[in-house]
Amino acid sequence: MLGAIFGFSLANGSETENQLETVTNDEQMVERALSGDPEAFGEIVRRWERRIFALAFGMLGREEDARDATQETFLAAFRNLRGFRGEAKVSSWLHRIAVNQCITRQRRAKVRGETALEDEAEKNAAVFALPMDISPARTAEKVERSIAVRRAVGSLPPDLRQVVVMKEFEELTFQQISDVLELPLSTVKSRLYTALRQLQLRLQKFGK
Amino acid sequence: MRNTNERPICHRAEDLVTYLYSEASEADTKDFAAHLQHCDACRSEFGVFQQVHESIVGWRNEALGQGFIPATVAVETKVDSTHLVQHQRKLSAVAAVREFFNVSPLWLRLATGFALLLLCMLGVLVISNSLKQRHRQEQFEAAVKEQVEQRIAQTPRPQAAPESIQGTNSATQNNSSTAVVINRPPAFASHVQPRSTRQRGLSRQEREQLAKDLQLIPRDEDELPLALSDEPNQ
């Protein structure tokens, strides 16, 4: 089912004709964009921006960074549109670009000594983002928990983090993650298993 | 969360995550569910992983909002979005108007309706006025034409065409009313002279004389009348 919207071919081959049609549409859009249709690439962006943003947010942990990374992803995709040979699906291609963008950003941030951990302003923002009908104690608890989860995810090595984010944020199947990252299915599963174990330890460490 | 650092790791770790995310086949699901019954390590990990999963989903929903549609929900639509986009582009104006009326409050809708009604009435008035005016003009032209035809019919035909062309006063004075249409009017005729009888232009000498006569300001300043005294005011 997911293969249709994300353009992956599922192992069990349960895609319907409509879904296959949607799969070709992404590739058609790229062809149209290559032939000079200015709106075709805009359509690709519209289709994928939310999911790429979710991926970037999960990877980077900050909305601003995620927005920048999403923008850079689509810019890089547009610049390299001619390099897209259609061997992979558009979705896999975009995800790969996004993952690379996120990793590059994190490396740069590390070099500059920045961290994606929360500061006071972010904490306040998280408090205001919660519904008003929740009691202050519950709000504080939720905020603390969110921060702890973000810290835990942020502290995972990139190869584990990207699997967790794709699974938890985008709800991709193991097969889809395997296609995007070009990894064997068993590697994806073992990485997720390791990531979940590490997350559990880190959440303990952060007191949650 | 319980410290499970030292718990034993079962060899079915991959099956555990597949089961956790409900991606196992029916047979595998049954098999692993049976395994969970007697494997403490897997049962323990399953519980812990579920908590971790819930925590991450909670963070995701807080950060991206409940409106975030993950892939599984989005796929339910199964729409050929290319066609959808084209359809939307075709109906963009209609859709925009519809959107406007959906979004705007009642008073704005009423005001827009009233404005449209006024605009329509104004349009109808302008069109009817222009039609009336055209009708009047046609009537007036028809009346004038009729009168002219009547007068032409009443007027006897001129005897000789050259006379009328030359604009002789005898012919035109007698039939002054018809001369407007048929012959040139006497006033005009009197001014129009044959090319041979037209007055020649002024000669150079005459022009100079005329210029001299018409010259109001004398060329020499000495000839100016002494309007003001050279002496300063005392």
Q: Which of B58, B174, B183 is nearest to A141 (CA)?
A: B58
The answer to whether the CB atoms of A203 and B52 lie below 8 A apart is: yes
Q: Distance between CA atoms of B232 and A94, rounded to whole angstroms?
A: 98
Residues 6+ apart with CB under 8 A from B178: B151, B152, B155
Tokens of B26: 């029916």
Chain B residue at shortest CA distance from A170: B70
Predicted local distance difference test score (pLDDT) of residue B67: 58
Predicted local distance difference test score (pLDDT) of residue A89: 82
Helix H, strand E, coil C: the string for A50-94 is HHHHHHHHHHHCCHHHHHHHHHHHHHHHHHCHHHCCCCCCHHHHH
The model's pTM is 0.52
In eight-state DSSP terms, residue A10 is P
- B73-129 pLDDT, tens per residue? 343 333 344 444 444 444 567 777 776 777 777 788 888 889 999 999 999 999 999
Question: Average per-residue pLDDT in chain A?
Answer: 77
> How many distinct helices (H) and strands (E) make up chain A?
10, 0
Q: Distance between CA atoms of B214 and B143, rounded to whole angstroms?
A: 53
Report ipTM for this prediction: 0.72
Q: Distance between CA atoms of A202 and A57, rounded to whole angstroms?
A: 19
Chain B residue at shortest CA distance from A63: B63
Spatial contact of A71 and A34, defined as CB atoms under 8 Å apart = no
* Mean pLDDT per 10-residue segment, chain A (208 residues): 36 41 67 82 87 88 88 90 80 88 84 57 53 66 81 88 89 89 92 92 74
Tokens of A180: 């995007």
The answer to whether the CB atoms of A203 and B75 lie below 8 A apart is: no
The answer to whether the CB atoms of B58 and A146 lie below 8 A apart is: yes
The answer to whether the CB atoms of B49 and A196 lie below 8 A apart is: yes
Residues B65, B67, B68, B72, Cα dihedral to 10°: 140
Chain A residue at shortest CA distance from B25: A12
Q: Which residues of A touch B63 (CB under 8 A)?
A: 57, 63, 146
Chain A residue at shortest CA distance from B57: A168
pLDDT over threshold 50, residue B203: yes
Q: Distance between CA atoms of B154 and A30, rounded to whole angstroms?
A: 86
- A140-197 pLDDT, tens per residue? 777 788 888 888 888 889 899 999 999 988 888 999 899 888 899 999 999 999 999 9
Selected residues 45-74 of chain B with any CB under 8 Å from a CB in chain A: 45, 48-49, 51-53, 55-60, 62-64, 68-72, 74
Predicted local distance difference test score (pLDDT) of residue A19: 44
Q: Distance between CA atoms of A49 and A36, rounded to whole angstroms?
A: 21
Phi, psi dihedral angles at A166 (to 5 degrees): -65, -35
**Residue A59 Cα, gap to closest chain B Cα (Å):** 12
Q: Distance between CA atoms of B161 and B177, rounded to whole angstroms?
A: 17
Helix (H) or strand (E) holding B89: helix B81-90
Q: Distance between CA atoms of A175 and B25, rounded to whole angstroms?
A: 14
Which of A23, A200, A204 is the best substitution to test chain B (most B C-beta atoms within 10 A)? Answer: A200
Q: Distance between CA atoms of A127 and A204, rounded to whole angstroms?
A: 22
Q: Which residue among A5, A150, A193 sits closest to B75, beta carbon to beta carbon?
A: A5
Tokens of A137: 């104690």
pLDDT over threshold 80, residue B64: no
